[in-house]
Structure formats: structure tokens, C-alpha cells
Structure 1
Amino acid sequence: MKWRGRRGSSNIEDRRRMGGGGGVAVGGGGLGLLAVVLIGYFLGVDLTPILGGAGATGIGAGGSADITQADEEAAQFVSVTLADTEEVWAGIFSDQLGQSYEPVTLVLFKGATQSGCGGASAQTGPFYCPVDQRVYLDTDFFVTLERQLGAGGDFAAAYVVAHEVGHYVQDLLGILGEAQRGRQQGAESAAVRVELQADCFSGVWAYHAQAQLGTLERGDIEEALNAAAQIGDDTLQQESGGAVRPETFTHGTSEQRQRWFYTGFESGDIGSCDTFSVQNL
């Protein structure tokens, strides 16, 4: 992905030097304690299977986090990627929906912070909080993505950012509220359908990033597809040494995540991302 020396976003809230973020208690299974009250499931990357059910960890307040050169580079990359999503989604909203797009704010943190949905730490992974309409990301996740999950490459990281922005787009379009109502009515696959649509939206973004900005390089789509595979529910459960339990899936299988990302990338049309009307995901 061609990102160096390009425009970054002004919609970054940088909390990396705020240290522990106010004594938030986080733990007991990673994402399990992140209370996304509007949706009832987690609009992010579910690291629970590989991180396991470690006991609660108190994250203390005070002290400033040390920011390394790698941290700064990752932050610059996220800023450029976010700027690209702003440009692309502004065009999609105008051309495909006849609406204006208001960009999302992305919160960078290191270690831990507080969100409108509860405490966030390295255990939670990147996520979108519909309560305060912000994306939360600890750039150390990119290290986890590459070293622990086997999904290296800058476009693998860009896919993750675009996926979370996809949840924000769902929120703007009223999809998250509809999904929550469906879940309350017993549609147990609502969580998976939300996640797969965000994957498809990230593919739509990739299509337009290439068409409008020309930023994709050889191998980028393969990096995104590999990342989608490595964070599929079935793959994460297998890698953790446990049994694959489809009834516990919240984000979709590796094959589903890859297929829906590529569906969006092939079409460039958000209309191709209607995961709620298909019978077989």
C-alpha cells in the first residue's frame, strides 16, 4: 500500500501518552468485559480464543506511555488509512446514497483507555463503539496481527482499520439498530451478519481506494484476504487448541470473511454487501 508521505486524517484522538487511562479494570476473557450496550456483541476483532480467559487485570492510572519509533510509524499509517476511508466513503455516500458522509473519530491508545462502551486494552483488539461513535485501536495490535496471528503486511492492517470504519458506516445507515432488534427477536446470526457486512464494506473501500487513489500494490489484496482468514472464528478456535463450535461464532468463518471481503472488492457497490437477506452466509 502506498501510504508514506501522503495526507493524514485530522480525526485522530491520540491518547497514547495518557498511560493507564484512568484505572480501568480489564480482563476475564478479553472482549467479554467490553460492554457494548447498544449492540450486545463486539464490533471489532475477537481475540478471546487466543488470549484465553486470563484473570482480571487492574490497569492503573498515571504515568505516561513511552512512544517508540515503531509506534509513531504505525500511528502515521493509521492516519493515512483513515484519511483514505474518509475520501472514499464521502464519494460512496454521495454517488450511491445521495447523502453526506461525516467522518468517524479514531482513538489511538497504548495500554488501556476508556470508551463509551467500557474499558479498552490490548486484549480487546480494535473495535467500534456505537455509544460514542468512535473507533478504538492500540497500534500494538498490528504486532499481534503479524507475529501471533500470521497476518503481516501493511494492507492487512489497513483491512482491520477499514473493517472498523465499516461498522461506523453501518451505524450511520441504521443497520446496527436493525441488527440489534433482530437479535432481540431471536435472530442469533445477527452478530455474524453484521461482521461479514463490515468485511464486505472494507472490500468496497479497497476497490475505490484503488480506483480513486491508486494506492494498492501487488499483493495487497492477498494480505487482506490472509488477515480475514487468520481472524475467522473457526481458525482462532483451532489455533487456541479448542474445538470449533459454530454456535459460538460472532464474526464468521475464515472462508466467509474472505468471501465477503472479496465480494465488496469485486463490485465496489455497497448494495452487494447485504448479508442480512441471504440465507446462506
Structure 2
Amino acid sequence: MLWKDRRQSGNVEDRRGQSPRMPGGFGRGGRPIQIPLGRGVGGGGISGIVILVVIFFALRACGIDPLQILEGGPIGGGSNVSVDRAPTGQPTDEEAQFVSVVLAETEDVWNGIFQAEGQTYREPSMVLFSNQVQSACGFASSASGPFYCPGDSKVYIDLGFFRELSQKFGASGDFAQAYVVAHEVGHHVQNLIGVLPEFNRQRQRMSQTEANQMSTRVELQADCFAGIWAHFTAQKGLLEDGDIEEALNAAHQIGDDTLQRRTQGYVVPESFNHGTSEQRATWFSNGFRNGRLADCDTFNNPV
């Protein structure tokens, strides 16, 4: 990806080297939404979320603005952030600069998409941390992998994850890393359009099997939204040869079936909560192909 000398996001909060406050339990935002090295979103009726997404895509098809209907006011903590930065106002190490540029590129894309709907995109923040972090969703360690917390509208990443992604899981390349960031930002988009709030409400009444099935659809939609971002990034001429292949390989390497086969030697399909390797690559490709939200309806199409 051609990222050097491009704008870095002003929404990066660098907490690396800081000791987090010990948690007092989960915040009101619910559990973090995580990349699959951590546990998936758990919890409890599918019908409500399916109806929500049916309405969302039906209204779009009719030219009616669904975002105003679904948002229902601000989502998340919404407080001023104290940001630790280099004197220039941006991180100085290359890994942090890269994810800051990727975040800025997602801001450009999603601001444009939301403006086309007559809406304002509320940009998420990205928190860089090392080892452990406290979020509005609770206390997390690096072992959880990158995650999005709907309680404070922040993406949390320990950059050491990218080395593990490359060395342990065979998903190398800068665009594999960009895919991870874009996936987590995809969860933020879901938060804004009402998908995550509805899932958080419904999952308390779901069986574990139902929750896993719905979690898979939520995760695959975030993959598809990452593909939408890649579509518009390609239109800017920022992609290099092999970038999409890097993203597809990353999607494959972190599929539930591939991870289970690697870690335990067999797969348990009923425990899947992020999607198979094939599903994750397919839905990323769906978003990348045309860059349309309508191509990301994982709730009313076979996954």
C-alpha cells in the first residue's frame, strides 16, 4: 500500500507503555468486538436483528435515509480524550504511523459514504496499547487481539499483534494489517447504523448456538465493510500489486476453521463465531467488488 507521506489521523491515542487502571467490571457498552484470536461476542433472538437489517437495506433501496432512523442518538462514551503524542502531534515509529494513515483513509471513505446519505460520520478513535488496556468495555490483554469497543467508539490495537499475524499465522504484508484495521472500523460503522446496538440487546435472549451464528454474520459484515474501504482505496491508486491477495490471505488465516485446525487439530462448526476462511474471504471480496453497502447484507443472504 502506498501510504508514506499521506495524512495521518488525528484520532490516535497512544497509551503504549502506560499501566492501565484495574477494571471494576464491564462498562455499559457491552463486550468488545474482537478479531478472532480472542473470544467472539457472546450472548442471546435472531429475529430482531434480521428485521433491523431488512429494514435498513429496504429503505436504502427506496431512497429513504435509514441512518437517521437507526442511530437513535449518540452511541458510546463520548468524552474528550487525552492523547499522548510525539512533539509533531503524530506517532514517530513506522508501525504506528502506518495504522494512523490507514485510519485516516477509512475516515475519508466512510465520511464520503455517510455524506452521500445526508449524514455525518462520527469518526472512531484508535488506541495503541501494549500488553494490557482498560476500555469502556472492560479490561483486555494483548491476547484478546485487536478489538472494537462500542461503549467508547474506539478501536484498540497492540501493534505486536501484527508480528504474530505474520510469524505465527502466515499473514504478512502491510495490507494484511490494513485489513485488520478496516475490519475493526467496520464494527464502528455497524455501531453507527444500529447493527451492534440491536445485537447487544438481542443476544441476552439467544442460546449460545444462536449467538455464535449471529456473531458470525456480524463479523462477516465487518469483513465486507473492510472490502468497501479497499474498493475506494484502490480507486485512489493507493494499492500495490499483491495487496488484495495479502488481505484475502489474512482473512483466510484467521477463519474459525483454519484457526481451530491449527490450534487443536479439528474443527467444531457449532462454535464458529467469526466465519470460516472461505466465508471471510468471500465477504471481503463482495465489498471490494463494487463498494456498495447493499452487497454486505450478511443477515439476509447465505453465509
TM class, shorter-chain normalised?
0.7 to 0.9
Deviation at 1:247, TM superposition (A): 0.9
Distance 2:287 2:20 in 1: 37
Among all aligned residue pairs of Structure 1 and Structure 2, give the percentage whose two residues are the same amino acid.
53
1:93 paired to 2:114 = yes
For residue 220 of structure 1, the aligned residue among 238, 243, 246 is 243
Cα gap change, 1:37 to 1:254, in 2 (>3 Å): farther
For residues 109-155 of structure 1, give each alpha carbon's deviation from its aligned partner in whole angstroms, at most 9, with x where no partner exists. 11211111111221010000011111100000100110011000000
TM-score by length of 2: 0.77
Match of 2:222? 198
**Partner in structure 2 of residue 10 of structure 1:** 10
Q: CA deviation at 1:46?
A: 2.1
* Equivalent in the alignment of 1:105: 125
User: Are the aligned partners of 1:36 and 1:130 in contact in 2 as well (CA < 8 Å)?
Assistant: no
Does the CA contact (< 8 Å) of 1:8 and 1:82 recur in 2?
A: yes
Matched, 1:148 2:168: yes
Q: C-alpha distance in 2, partners of 1:72/1:87?
A: 23
Q: Is the 8 A contact 1:24 1:113 kept in 2?
A: no
Q: Which residue of 2 aligns with 1:136?
A: 156
Q: Looking at both structures, which has the greater relative contact order when contacts are Cα pairs under 8 Å and sequence separation is at least 6?
A: 2
1:8 alignment partner AA: Q
CA distance in structure 2 between the aligned counterparts of 1:71 and 1:245, rounded to whole angstroms = 43
Q: State the alpha-carbon separation in 2 of the partners of residues 275 and 182 from structure 1.
A: 17
**Equivalent position to 2:36, from 46, 65, 79:** 46
Give the CA deviation at 1:267: 1.4
Give the distance between the partners of 1:48 and 1:176, measured in 2 at CA: 18
**Runs of at least 5 residues in structure 2 that lack an aligned partner in the other structure:** 40-90
RMSD: 2.1
CA drift of 1:94 comes to: 1.4
The residue that corresponds to 1:58 in the other structure is: none
What SS does the aligned partner of 1:135 have?
Answer: strand
The correspondence for 1:208, drawn from 229, 232, 235, is: 232
- Cα deviation, residue 271, structure 1: 1.3
Q: Cα 1:35–1:223, aligned 2, differ >3 Å: closer, same or farther?
A: farther
Unpaired segments of 5 or more residues in structure 1? 26-33, 50-69
Alignment partner, residue 137 of structure 2:
117
Structure 2 vs 1, CA of residues 140 and 132 (structure 1 numbering), >3 Å: closer, same or farther? same
